């Protein structure tokens, strides 16, 4: 990232060094790039600047009018089927090739469960759902009631959050190819076929688009690859982040890549401690610095990205 920044026009380098807040609007190809790690004046941007992302100026203007408040919270930690088998690995339907050819191994995230319990003592008025309690139906029912959602669990493709099953909702008539394969994924257990949807359910970006949130809601998706998005055509992007913002959220924190269970827990706990006295973007910056001091390697603190307005007009938090 040091060498890459040197390739930028000198005018851009100057602007990046002088501004307090940086807003990136990457397309789907550049969205994977760790823009927050661009080196300016010898250090990553995200350690000295308030860095955020947005998919369009139009959406940024809408988000700027939303007020954030933390008066009710939903914390989801380690959604997991009733049985204790660990890990679980599923395969796609026979003969089909896709990015989801092999799903897993999905491991029981004990750190995520501990994360939920710890955050319930930091975040006020929190309802906590863990393991088999954390079903897709329950989470979707609660989304519109809470001003803060924190989910620590498994994610995939930037469009899927894994919740405890079995699946109860009828799939849409015109399901995407990726979701259709996921619903038909299976594994062998004691010589018998077990379908993924008999054990799991999932929430997709489409579900979020049809679930109005509290205006200005804050969302933290502490799950693998939740920061990905793809261009769907017509000026629209597909992905969980975009869906949450369109449904009313003012801030969404997510990850570009797979995460480690324990370090991601430490990141979340550190962030919410900082959030008690700092705006979202500043709290994220300070958390990155704290986790960098503890773990050193970039993989522990750089993957987290923020989508939303860089400033907060009004905040109600403890």
Q: Which of 215, 79, 213, 86 is nearest to 154 (CA)?
A: 79
Q: Which residue has the tokens 């395969």?
A: 91
> In this predicted model, what pLDDT tens digit does every residue of 265-292 receive, in sequence order?
999 999 999 999 999 999 999 999 999 9
Model confidence band, residue 174 (pLDDT cutoffs 50, 70, 90): confident
pLDDT for residue 94: 64
Average pLDDT over residues 216-229: 95
pLDDT score recorded for residue 141: 96
Residue 318 has pLDDT above 50, yes or no: no
Least confident of 43-47, 191-195, 249-253, 314-318: 314-318
Contact 51/22 with Cβ under 8 angstroms? yes
Task: Select from 50, 58, 93 the least CA-distant residue to 195.
Answer: 93
Q: 244: closest CA among 137, 159, 127?
A: 159
On the question of pLDDT at 312 being above 70, the answer is no
Single pTM value for the model: 0.93
Mean pLDDT score across all residues of the chain: 90
* Element (DSSP H or E) covering residue 17: helix 10-18
Averaged over 105-112, what is the pLDDT? 93
What pLDDT is recorded for position 105? 87
Question: Could you tell me the domains of the chain?
Answer: 65-277 (3.40.50)
Q: What pLDDT sits at residue 84? A: 67
């Amino acid at each position: 990232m040091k060498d890459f920044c040197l390739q930028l026009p000198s005018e851009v380098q100057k602007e990046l060094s002088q501004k307090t807040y940086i807003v990136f609007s990457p397309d789907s190809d550049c969205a994977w790039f760790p823009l927050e790690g661009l080196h300016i004046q010898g250090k990553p941007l995200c350690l000295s600047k308030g860095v955020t992302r947005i998919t369009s100026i139009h959406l940024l203007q809408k988000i700027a009018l939303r007020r954030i408040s933390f008066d009710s919270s939903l914390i989801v930690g380690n959604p997991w089927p009733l049985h204790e088998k660990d890990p679980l690995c599923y395969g796609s339907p026979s003969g089909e090739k896709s990015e989801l050819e092999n799903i897993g191994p999905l491991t029981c995230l004990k750190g995520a469960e501990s994360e939920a319990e710890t955050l319930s003592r930091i975040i006020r008025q929190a309802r906590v759902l863990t393991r088999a309690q954390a079903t897709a139906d329950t989470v979707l029912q609660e989304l519109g009631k809470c001003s803060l959602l924190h989910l620590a669990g498994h994610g995939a493709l930037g469009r899927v959050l894994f919740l405890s099953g079995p699946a109860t909702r009828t799939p849409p008539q015109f399901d995407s190819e990726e979701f259709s394969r996921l619903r038909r994924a299976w594994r062998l257990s004691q010589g018998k076929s077990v379908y993924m949807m008999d054990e799991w359910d999932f929430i997709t970006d489409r579900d979020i688009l049809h679930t109005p949130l509290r205006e200005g809601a804050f969302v933290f998706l502490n799950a693998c690859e939740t920061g990905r998005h793809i261009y769907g055509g017509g000026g629209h992007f597909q992905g969980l982040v975009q869906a949450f913002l369109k449904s009313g959220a003012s801030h969404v924190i997510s990850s570009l890549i797979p995460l480690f269970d324990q370090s991601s827990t430490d990141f979340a706990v550190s962030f919410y401690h900082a959030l008690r006295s700092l705006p979202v973007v500043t709290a994220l910056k300070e958390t990155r610095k704290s986790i960098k001091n503890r773990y050193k390697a970039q993989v522990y603190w750089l993957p987290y990205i923020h989508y939303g307005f860089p400033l907060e007009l009004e905040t109600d938090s403890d």
